[in-house]
Structure 1
Amino acid sequence: MTTYIWVAVVVIAVVALAAVAYVVQQQKRRNHLRERFGPEYERIVADHDNRRDAEQELLDREQRHSELDIRPLPEESRETYANRWTEVQERFVDAPSFAVTEADQLVTAVMAERGYPTEDFEQRLSDLSVGHAATLDHYRTAHEISGRAAEKKASTEELRQAMVHYRALFEELLHETTRGR
Structure 2
Amino acid sequence: MSLGLWIVLGMALAVVAVVWAAPPVRRQGAGRLQRRFGPEYERVCARHGGDTTEADRELAARLDRFGHLRLRRLSAAQRQGFVRRWAQTQAAFADSPRQAVLHAARLVGELADVRGFDAGSVETTAEALSVRYPHDVDSYRKVMALAQTLEMFGPKASGDSAASPGRTGEEQPALSTEQLRQTLIEARGLCIVLLRRSPYDGRARRMVAGSADGVMPGQRGPSMRTTRTSG
Q: TM-score, normalised by structure 1?
A: 0.83
Cα RMSD for the two superposed structures: 2.8
Q: Which has the higher contact order (CA 8 A, sep 6+)?
A: 1
Aligned-partner residue type, residue 40 of structure 2: E
Aligned to 1:133, the other structure's residue is in SS state coil
Q: How many residues align?
A: 178
Distance 2:62 2:188 in 1: 24
Q: How many angstroms does 1:94 deviate by?
A: 1.3
Structure 1 residues 19 and 62: alpha-carbon distance in aligned structure 2, compared to 1, 3 A threshold: same
The answer for the alignment partner of 1:53 in structure 2 is 54
Give 5+ residue unaligned stretches, structure 2. Answer: 158-173, 200-229
Map of 1:1-181 to 2, 5 A cutoff? 1-2=1-2, 4-15=3-14, 26=26, 28-48=28-48, 50-150=51-151, 151=153, 152=157, 153-177=174-198
Q: For 1:66 and 1:48, locate their aligned partners in 2 and report how far apart those are by CA, in whole Å.
A: 22
**One-letter amino acid matched to 1:72:** R
Contact 2:33 2:41 in 1 (8 A): yes
Alpha-carbon distance in structure 2 between the residues aligned to 1:139 and 1:32? 24
Matching residue's letter, 1:10: L
Shift of 1:20: 7.6
What residue identity is the alignment partner of 1:149?
L
Contact 1:78 1:175 in 2 (8 A): no
Equivalent pair of 1:48/1:54 in contact (CA under 8 Å): yes
Map Cα deviations across residues 32-82 of structure 1 (whole Å, 9 max, x no partner).
111111111111111125322221111111111134453232333222211
Percent of aligned pairs with the same residue?
A: 31
Amino acid at match of 1:132: Y
Please give the per-residue CA displacement for 1:108-128, whole angstroms capped at 9, x wherever unaligned. 111111112253111111111
The structure that is helix-richer by fraction is: 1
